[in-house]
Amino acid sequence: RAPDKDTNIAITNITSMTLNMDAPKHSNQPGRFQPGLWLWVFTACLLPLFIVLGGWQLTRAADKAQLLDLGEAEVLIFDQIDWQAIPLYRDVLVTGQFSQPMVFLLDNQTLAGQFGYEIWSVVNTSAGHLAVSLGWLAGDYDRSQLPLIKLPVGLSAGRVTLRPAPKNALFDVDSNLAQPGATDRWVVQGLTTDWLEAHLGVPVIGFGQLIDSAEQGLGPNIWQPSVMTRAKHLAYAIQWFSMAVVLLCMFLYAGFKKNN
């Protein structure tokens, strides 16, 4: 006998109850904090790195602010400087004559894409011999042809910034070469007081940058105490700290996400 209507309804209800009991239950409640091992490792490695880099950029910004303050400080009296502890990046007024016509052309210096040299010579002052950068001079792409340089007799109260010795990241003073057939011009990759003293025969007390070199008929000044400004360091610090915050937010979101 075919099942009647009431029997069909009962069978349907039982089947529905069985399916509902077997189906997985969905929960809208957040689960436990379970980001997983690899996310723990990823965050533990990168989060401290981003924070350290941001702090380092803040330190660099503070150093640049201090450097700027030194550049705006009062001009030092040349004869009263302690040359055993040279106050780098401070300005002094230098008066003296060039002790000899020898010049040193610091190689591979560019200005607006033009190849050239930074001109160095030595001024005999009341405190001793000071190596001074006299600015930039364009060079010839025929490396055998060096530019002709006419040095002034000397400096009269020239404003000079005390600076570190010029260095080359790839070459040292052993690569310095005298121009063939001339002993008064050298193409140098770097300078040190010891190297200058050995070739000049006089003690050298330090290095300086003539600020108004272009106004004295020499080349433009291309040296800067720092390439990156304080504002750029602050911007990089914000960038690193922002990356740290984003990483932490992603880590928390992955750990507390709702179960499907």
| Tens-digit pLDDT profile for residues 1-33 | 555 555 555 555 545 554 454 544 544 555 577
Alpha helices (H) in 72-208, listed in sequence order: 193-200
Task: Assess contact for 93 and 81: CB atoms under 8 A.
Answer: no
Average pLDDT, integer, range 85-94? 85
Average pLDDT, integer, range 166-188? 82
pLDDT value at residue 21: 47
pLDDT value at residue 194: 93
- The DSSP call for residue 174 is G
Average pLDDT, integer, range 209-222? 82
Task: Assess contact for 18 and 197: CB atoms under 8 A.
Answer: no
Phi, psi of 211 (to 5 degrees): -70, -50
What is the rounded CA–CA span in Å between residue 167 and residue 165?
Answer: 6
> Which is nearest to 219 in space by CA: 130, 127, 143, 117?
117
- Whether the pLDDT of residue 104 is over 50: the answer is yes
Assign 260 a pLDDT band (cuts: 50, 70, 90): very low
Question: What is the model's pTM?
Answer: 0.64
- Whether the pLDDT of residue 199 is over 80: the answer is yes
Assign 259 a pLDDT band (cuts: 50, 70, 90): very low
pLDDT value at residue 67: 66
